[in-house]
Amino acid sequence: MAGSLSSALLLLLNMAGALLAPPALPSGPASMVTSASASADGGGDDGDVDFFFFPFLVLYKSGRVQRFMGTDTVPASTDPATGVASRDVVVDAAAGLAVRLYLPPSLATNRTGTAGTDDDGGGCGSGSNRLPLLVFYHGGALVTESAFSPTYHRYLNALVSRARVLVVSVEYHLAPEHRLPTAYDDAWAALRWALANARAGTGTTGTDPWLSRHADPARLFLAGDSAGGNIAHYVALHAGREGLGDGGAAATTIRGLALLDPHFWGKRPVPSETTDEDTRRWRERTWSFVCGGRYGIDDPVINPVAMPPAPVRARHRGGAGHAQREGPCGRPRGSGRGGAVRGARRVSRLLLP
């Protein structure tokens, strides 16, 4: 039953891979940076371009950021097409961390998600009545898009209605205002928050009613597309190192990790990646831009090929199980490092039962 549920969930996630992946970078992006700088000259201090991350944004030397896509948002609601309910929750006001929760239509009879009783089949008094918990990280090259964007809102409404899961979609901070590891820290904090609320049980004071009543922490899945796939991969690595226990609570196992066209790269090309030196240098520059030079291009957070076998096994033991998908074509968009992830999986048993 768990295996079929995992397969169905991951299949539905893959259906949206092509839609959610950001546009490809054009050839010769370095020349576009030069052109952008030239066109901005004469516009005062704010017109001087520091970095042009085509096609997503321009960072000016004044510190101002101008985004060209991924800035639209829609409010949480009950979706008229699917009946899925969503609501926004502030996880940490001081840190500016929030999530959007999604609940299937059979449970979304009111805005608090408290309809039904613990043993009527609609509540969550027992594990058999609880829903799988999916923590989702959106894409956008780590610099754009939002958990509240119309693209991800539509996608997760459809996913929740078909897969019957409770989704926590994470609104992590974006670069360049907040360079990595801020998004990684947000992703980890949101996961820990979701698990703490799911473990708390019905009626516990101060917990989220949807998670405490309906989420099954024993059926935890992580997913993300593009940059979100990179983040989900990082969180799985971190879970392997740190564990997902909480005081007296039993450690939680990540049952599945769905990476939809994840953003991976590395110094040396792998099959299906471009060998064009200008393009490879450009991609290295964009990675350095989003992380502020903190992680090299062969750090395991961006290049799974670089993970040595023994440390990988130690990091991941007990961290995640079941299957991984690299997107609709079976490989990350713009790179061939899906094979590298599969290799790491074979070595570490990260994603196998």
Is residue 195's pLDDT more than 80? yes
Lowest mean pLDDT among 10-19, 135-144, 269-278: 10-19
* CA angle (272 as vertex; 271, 274 as ends), nearest 5: 105
Residue type, position 12, single letter:
L
- Give 132 or 121, the one with higher predicted confidence: 132
Contact between 117 and 123 under an 8 Å Cβ cutoff? The reply is yes
Strand partners, 222: 135, 257
Which residue, among 132, 117, 129, 151, has the nearest Cα to 22 in the 3D structure?
151
3-state secondary structure of 156: helix
Mean pLDDT across 150-162: 97
3-state secondary structure of 188: helix
Q: Output Rg (C-alpha) for the chain, integer angstroms.
A: 20
At what angle are helices 2-15 and 150-163 packed, to 10 degrees?
150
- The Cα-based distances of 2 to 6, 181, 184 in angstroms read 6, 33, 28
- Give 346 or 254, the one with higher predicted confidence: 254
DSSP code of 288?
H
Residue 307 pLDDT class (50, 70, 90 cuts): confident
Contact between 234 and 227 under an 8 Å Cβ cutoff? The reply is no
Number of domains in the chain: 1
What is the spatial distance between Cα 330 and Cα 222, in angstroms, rounded to a whole number?
18
Residue 262: the pLDDT is 95
Is residue 122's pLDDT more than 80? no
Domain membership of residue 279 (yes or no) is yes
Residue 107: the pLDDT is 80
3-state secondary structure of 255: strand
Residue 253 pLDDT class (50, 70, 90 cuts): confident
Domain membership of residue 147 (yes or no) is yes
Residue 113: the pLDDT is 52
% pLDDT > 90, the chain: 58
Q: Which residues contact 276 (CB under 8 A, 6 or more apart)?
A: 27
pLDDT in tens, 33-53: 433 443 444 444 567 999 999
What is the spatial distance between Cα 65 and Cα 322, in angstroms, rounded to a whole number?
40
Strand order in the sheet with 215-225: 85-92, 97-103, 166-171, 131-137, 215-225, 254-260
Residue 250 pLDDT class (50, 70, 90 cuts): low
Is residue 153's pLDDT more than 50? yes
- The Cα-based distances of 276 to 141, 254, 282 in angstroms read 21, 38, 10
Domain membership of residue 34 (yes or no) is no
pLDDT in tens, 196-209: 999 987 666 778 99
Domain membership of residue 56 (yes or no) is no
Mean pLDDT value across the chain: 78
Is residue 117's pLDDT more than 60? no
Domain membership of residue 48 (yes or no) is no
Domain membership of residue 39 (yes or no) is no
Containing structural domain, residue 259: 2-22+71-348
DSSP code of 336?
-
Domain membership of residue 53 (yes or no) is no
Mean pLDDT across 266-284: 94
What is the spatial distance between Cα 311 and Cα 242, in angstroms, rounded to a whole number?
14
pLDDT in tens, 179-192: 999 999 999 999 99
Residue 56 pLDDT class (50, 70, 90 cuts): very high
Domain membership of residue 102 (yes or no) is yes
3-state secondary structure of 20: helix
Residue 156: the pLDDT is 98
pLDDT in tens, 60-107: 999 999 999 999 999 999 999 999 999 999 999 999 999 999 999 978
Is residue 312's pLDDT more than 50? no
Residue type, position 183, single letter:
A
Residue recorded with tokens 């094979």:
339
Residue 244: the pLDDT is 87
Residue 305: the pLDDT is 87
CATH code, domain with 18: 3.40.50.1820
Is residue 126's pLDDT more than 70? no
What is the spatial distance between Cα 75 and Cα 315, in angstroms, rounded to a whole number?
38
Residue 349 pLDDT class (50, 70, 90 cuts): very low
- Give 58 or 2, the one with higher predicted confidence: 58
Residue 177: the pLDDT is 98
Cis status of the peptide bond prior to 176, with omega within 30 of 0: yes
